[in-house]
């Protein structure tokens, strides 16, 4: 974590990530894509995606979430910043000459060797089937369906703990506290994911949020009744409703949005704990 000298009011409490661990290289051109902005107004001039817009230019890095090169060792040749995600990414050069981007595991450094195989050594960065990983091990970039690439636990500092293995499924406790079954033939990467200090950053000033494409968010209770269900009243009035609502009159805050009777309900052993509101 990096702290700044309080030379201005915005810098006083500001903190940032220490990027000294990153390699000073440019992203690979063949593994970057232009992405279309999906925010702001449509062709009729109406705002269709609220609170988004502006920010710095960025290109998408193509990540190999599946790491399909089975049995071919790879060498970490750089660790880089990715503007599209919270964790760091790494360039991996495989013995057959191919170079790909992967999510950087914690405790992995430049020149380290990694491998993806059905069963391999239990060390940070290696990837293998869940049924061959010891109980109690933390993993990330987990496949929900074998062969479709990692879908779970891909944010900075995340890791899911393996609780048990039986009946063709491995039971995991996810960072959200949800306990879930995943097919034992699904692949996962050993150890937590990189950049665990990301969630402790203090933004410090409004302008830093604007760099991240986040525009101002106005409270509904500060609006007029014609603009929001919470609007109206004299001064700083309450919302005047039993439960809060969205600008379009739908229930908000704490309402379950998961579809009832979803096919994957049978794989969820225990739902995540509800966070207490401050």
Structure tokens at 25: 């290289």
Asked whether the beta carbons of 111 and 75 are under 8 A apart, the reply is yes
- Answer whether residue 260 is part of any domain: no
Confirm whether 205 is domain-assigned.
no
The full 3-state SS of 208-224, as one line of letters, equals HHHHCCECCCCCHHHCC
CA distance 209 to 10: 12
Does some domain include residue 1?
A: no
The verdict on residue 7 lying in a domain is no
Give dist(CA 8, CA 211) in Å, integer. Answer: 18
CA-CA-CA-CA dihedral for 56, 61, 66, 69, to nearest 10: -160
Closest listed residue to residue 164, CA positions, set 274, 263, 269: 269
> What local confidence, expressed as pLDDT, does residue 256 receive?
86
Does residue 264 sit in helix, strand or coil?
Answer: helix
Residue 3 in domain = no
pTM over 0.85: yes
Count of domains for the chain: 1
User: What's the confidence (pLDDT) of residue 182?
Assistant: 96
Report which of 127, 113, 158 is spatially closest to residue 65, judged by C-alpha positions.
127
Structural domain includes residue 238: no
Residue 141: closest CA among 194, 197, 196, 200: 194
Residues in the chain, overall count: 278
Among candidates 126, 122, 36, which has minimal Cα distance to 72?
Answer: 126
* Structural domain harbouring 168: 18-190
Q: What is the pLDDT of residue 37?
A: 81
- The span from the CA of 104 to the CA of 110, in Å, is 10
| φ and ψ at residue 30, rounded to 5 degrees | -75, -10
Question: Within a domain: residue 68?
Answer: yes
Two structure tokens written together for 92 = 């991996």
From CA 103, how far away is CA 125, in angstroms rounded?
9
The pLDDT value recorded for residue 278 is: 60
Domain holding 57: CATH number?
A: 2.40.50.140
pLDDT in tens, the chain (278 residues): 899 999 999 899 999 999 999 999 999 999 999 988 888 888 899 989 999 988 989 999 999 999 888 999 999 999 999 999 999 999 999 999 999 999 999 999 999 999 999 999 999 999 999 999 999 999 999 999 999 999 999 999 999 999 999 999 999 999 999 999 999 999 999 999 999 999 999 999 999 999 999 999 999 999 999 999 999 999 899 999 999 999 999 999 888 888 999 999 999 999 988 777 66
* Residue that is written with structure tokens 């034992």 in the block: 184
In a domain? residue 251: no
């Amino acid at each position: 974590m990096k702290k700044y000298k309080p030379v201005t009011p915005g810098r006083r409490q500001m903190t940032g990530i220490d990027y000294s661990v990153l390699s000073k290289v440019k992203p690979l051109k063949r593994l970057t894509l232009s992405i279309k902005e999906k925010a702001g107004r449509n062709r009729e001039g109406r705002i269709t995606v609220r609170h988004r817009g502006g920010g710095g230019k960025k290109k998408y890095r193509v990540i190999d979430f599946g790491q399909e090169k089975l049995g071919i060792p790879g060498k970490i040749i750089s660790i880089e910043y990715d503007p599209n995600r919270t964790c760091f990414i790494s360039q991996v050069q495989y013995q057959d000459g191919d170079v790909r981007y992967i999510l950087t595991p914690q405790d992995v450094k430049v020149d380290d060797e990694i491998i993806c195989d059905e069963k391999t050594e239990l060390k940070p960065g290696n990837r293998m089937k869940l049924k061959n990983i010891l109980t109690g091990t933390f993993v990330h970039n987990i496949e929900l369906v074998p062969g479709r690439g990692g879908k779970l636990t891909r944010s900075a500092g995340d890791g899911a703990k393996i609780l048990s293995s039986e009946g063709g499924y491995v039971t995991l406790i996810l960072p959200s506290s949800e306990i879930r079954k995943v097919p034992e033939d699904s692949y996962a990467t050993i150890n937590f994911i990189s950049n665990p200090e990301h969630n402790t950053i203090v933004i410090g000033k409004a302008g830093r949020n604007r760099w991240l494409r986040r525009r101002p968010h106005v409270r509904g209770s500060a609006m007029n009744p014609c603009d929001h269900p919470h609007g109206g009243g004299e001064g700083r009035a309450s919302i005047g409703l039993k439960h809060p609502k969205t600008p379009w009159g739908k229930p908000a805050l704490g309402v379950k949005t998961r579809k009832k009777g979803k096919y994957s309900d049978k794989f969820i052993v225990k739902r995540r704990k509800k966070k207490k509101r401050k």
